[in-house]
């Protein structure tokens, strides 16, 4: 463990940064898969192909988020077990997680392929975009087992303080993704099928790199092929944390599908602009999200080690560092927004509409960083249902109500965007109140395993 972040001893501020930076870059590189797809088809295949790729983002998020939430449960339970120095429990959790990832991915692939056309039609995609959107989604779904495997493998590495190995895997696969995009679209004349195929092959590469690393590592999280099986007692513990987080992600994605449907109803130009802006704003989101994940893992290990005072320090430091990091990245993106949006599409109307989206989203991020970090803090103690319920009510409830009422009477892009700051403000306030009421560092105690 000497090569990894020691979360339960010594200073915290520098270790949180050391843990968070590779994690944030990893998230950004993951998004660059889709950004590269959007940029290539936007430049060389037109707005319709660009809208088809970007319009699928909420659907893909809906299909993936349940099992990504389960991987969070694996991360939390592993972190607590490592803090307790319970090697047998760590071993069972690692091998259970890998099997669950592959089986979950296969399930999503099968269900997604069966209902892909119906799913895309639910988004009110324009007729010129519909065939391309279905084609992209079908190919992307083939890669779901390796996509989920990568997320679970990353959770395993994160739980013991290693965020660099997932980053290395993403750098390699990210470069491969860009090269394949150019080869398939420019070299072979493909459109959305080319960028989708490139993404699947890149995700296969990153998951394979991490799997081989887990086979060869000498760490406590080492994988042994002969021990790959589901331990149902461990699975239950993972699901207690992961299912609420996964359901939260699914409901959140469902709300985004409703919003995407409203965006789609405003035409191809707005769809393309929203897609381009999303691929920029998500960079700032991953800064926030990385501090939320850091808070979860640091709290999980210290909670397992019985060091609850350090858990409160982790929360305060993550809030401060997340605020500074989020402000910095949002300011940079806004400053160069016209140039950055031009990468995806040169249409002035697309660029102007994309700038409108960025302005509203970054106002919302004033509240989002607090919501992400406080939710991560609660999950570190194994409290997963409460932040999930708060997010479902505060984010999803407000957004769905807004779209079906306010947007119906004033159907404009600005009307859609106004719901983001409002919903995140409500959610942040609700989670803060819950945090002050239950005080998890005092309520939840655990003693280290000798």
Quote the mean pLDDT of the chain.
85
Q: Nearest to residue 391, comparing CAs of 245, 185, 184?
A: 245
Asked whether the CA dihedral 389, 394, 396, 397 is positive or negative, the reply is positive
The token pair that represents 417 in the structure block = 């965007």
Element (H, E) at 164: helix 164-182
The residue-averaged pLDDT of 9-20 equals 88
Query: By three-state DSSP, how is residue 21 classified?
Result: helix
Element (H, E) at 372: helix 348-380
Distance CA 180, CA 387 (A): 40
Helices (H), 217-267: 232-264
Distance CA 172, CA 185 (A): 20
- Phi/psi at 60 (5° precision): -60, -40
More confident residue, 343 or 328: 328
What does the DSSP 8-state code read for residue 227? G
**What pLDDT, in 10s, does the model give residues 219-263?**
788 898 989 999 998 899 888 888 888 887 777 777 877 888 888
Distance CA 17, CA 424 (A): 25
Distance CA 175, CA 92 (A): 34
The residue-averaged pLDDT of 65-94 equals 84
Phi-psi region of 10 (alpha: psi -120 to 50; beta: other; left: phi over 0): left
Distance CA 228, CA 259 (A): 41
Distance CA 54, CA 43 (A): 14
- Contact at 8 Å (CB) between 263 and 54? no
**What pLDDT, in 10s, does the model give residues 167-218?**
899 899 888 988 998 888 887 878 788 888 988 999 999 999 999 999 998 7
**What pLDDT, in 10s, does the model give residues 125-178?**
777 777 888 888 889 889 999 989 998 999 899 888 888 898 899 899 888 988
Whole-prediction pTM: 0.77
**What pLDDT, in 10s, does the model give residues 272-325?**
888 888 888 888 888 888 899 899 989 988 888 888 888 889 999 999 999 999
- Contact at 8 Å (CB) between 242 and 387? no
Domains of the chain by residue range: 13-443
Residues whose CB is less than 8 angstroms from the CB of residue 297 and which lie 6 or more positions away in sequence, other chains included = 7, 19, 75, 76, 79, 158, 159, 161, 380
The token pair that represents 281 in the structure block = 């704003």
Find tokens 């359901």 and name the residue.
247
Distance CA 332, CA 301 (A): 34
């Amino acid at each position: 463990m000497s090569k990894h972040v020691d979360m339960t001893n010594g200073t915290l501020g520098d270790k949180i940064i050391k843990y968070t930076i590779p994690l944030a870059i990893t998230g950004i590189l993951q998004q660059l898969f889709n950004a590269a797809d959007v940029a290539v088809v936007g430049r060389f295949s037109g707005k319709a192909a660009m809208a088809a790729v970007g319009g699928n983002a909420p659907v893909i998020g809906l299909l993936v988020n349940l099992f990504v939430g389960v991987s969070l449960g694996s991360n939390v339970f592993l972190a607590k077990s490592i803090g307790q120095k319970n090697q047998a429990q760590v071993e069972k959790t690692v091998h259970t997680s890998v099997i669950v990832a592959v089986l979950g991915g296969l399930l999503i692939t099968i269900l997604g392929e069966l209902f892909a056309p119906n799913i895309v039609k639910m988004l009110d995609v324009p007729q010129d975009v519909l065939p391309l959107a279905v084609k992209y989604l079908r190919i992307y779904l083939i890669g779901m087992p390796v996509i989920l495997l990568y997320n679970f493998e990353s959770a395993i590495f994160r739980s013991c303080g290693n965020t660099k190995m997932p980053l290395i895997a993403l750098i390699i696969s990210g470069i491969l993704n860009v090269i394949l995009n150019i080869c398939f679209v420019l070299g072979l004349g493909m459109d959305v099928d080319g960028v989708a195929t490139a993404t699947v092959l890149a995700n296969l590469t990153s998951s394979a790199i991490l799997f081989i690393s887990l086979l060869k590592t000498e760490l406590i999280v080492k994988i042994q092929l002969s021990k790959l099986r589901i331990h149902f007692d461990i699975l239950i513990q993972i699901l207690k944390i992961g299912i609420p987080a996964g359901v939260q992600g699914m409901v959140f994605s469902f709300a985004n599908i409703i919003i995407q449907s409203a965006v789609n109803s405003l035409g191809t130009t707005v769809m393309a602009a929203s897609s381009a802006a999303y691929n920029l704003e998500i960079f700032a989101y991953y800064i926030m999200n990385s501090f939320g994940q850091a808070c979860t893992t640091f709290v999980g290990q210290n909670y397992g080690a019985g060091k609850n005072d350090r858990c409160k320090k982790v929360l305060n430091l993550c809030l401060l560092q997340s605020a500074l990091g989020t402000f910095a990245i949002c300011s940079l993106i806004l400053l160069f927004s016209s140039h950055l949006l031009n990468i995806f599409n040169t249409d002035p109307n697309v660029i102007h509409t994309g700038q409108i989206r960025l302005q509203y989203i970054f106002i919302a991020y004033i509240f989002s960083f607090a919501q992400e970090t406080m939710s991560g803090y609660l999950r570190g103690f194994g409290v997963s249902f409460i932040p999930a319920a708060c997010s479902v009510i505060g984010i999803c409830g407000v957004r769905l109500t807004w779209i079906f009422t306010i947007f119906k009477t004033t159907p404009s892009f600005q009307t859609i965007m106004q719901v983001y700051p409002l919903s995140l403000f409500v959610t942040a306030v609700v989670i803060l109140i819950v945090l002050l009421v239950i005080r998890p560092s005092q309520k939840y105690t655990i003693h280290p395993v000798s």
